[in-house]
């Protein structure tokens, strides 16, 4: 499983390929491998992808279609296997993002009545 790292805290599988580095659920694994890593030696055939899937299903995992992801608190350290980005943090809730425009939309939609200054988001 040299392509994936399991994070037991968040019950998530993280694709560790250099230009990938994001969480992948077992339900999206086959599509992810075919689109992003079809030439990788560990995932080139359907049989190899099935081995990866069986390994993933042996661990607890959060299904994003059934469960809401719980964002880590701002004080938590970076999640191993995921890249660290600078961003913006909402002064009214735990929402974070990388784009000033996305933050403006969030504040307009969720906190229209509230005042507050911008703050830099925690590195996540």
Spans of all domains in the chain: 4-57, 87-121
**Does the predicted model carry a pTM greater than 0.85?**
no
Q: Which of 63-67, 69-73, 118-122 has the lowest mean pLDDT?
A: 118-122
The conformation of residue 121, written as its DSSP 8-state character, comes to E
* Per-residue pLDDT reduced to its tens digit, 3-50: 899 999 888 899 999 889 988 888 888 889 988 988 888 888 889 889
State whether residue 86 is helix, strand or coil: coil
* Per-residue pLDDT reduced to its tens digit, 78-121: 988 888 888 888 888 878 888 999 998 998 899 988 765 555 54
Q: Which residue has the higher pLDDT, 77 or 120?
A: 77
What is the Cα–Cα distance from 106 to 90, expressed in whole angstroms? 8
2 closest CA partner among 16, 12, 22: 16
């Amino acid at each position: 499983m040299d392509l994936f790292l399991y994070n037991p805290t968040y019950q998530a599988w993280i694709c560790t390929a250099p230009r990938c580095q994001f969480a992948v659920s077992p339900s999206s694994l086959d599509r992810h491998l075919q689109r992003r890593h079809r030439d990788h030696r560990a995932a080139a055939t359907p049989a190899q992808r099935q081995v990866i899937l069986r390994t993933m299903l042996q661990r607890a995992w959060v299904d994003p279609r059934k469960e809401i992801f719980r964002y880590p608190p701002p004080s938590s350290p970076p999640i191993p296997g995921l890249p660290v980005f600078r961003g913006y943090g909402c002064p009214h809730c735990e929402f974070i993002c990388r784009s000033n425009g996305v933050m403006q939309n969030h504040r307009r939609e969720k906190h229209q009545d509230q005042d507050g200054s911008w703050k830099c988001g925690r590195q996540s």
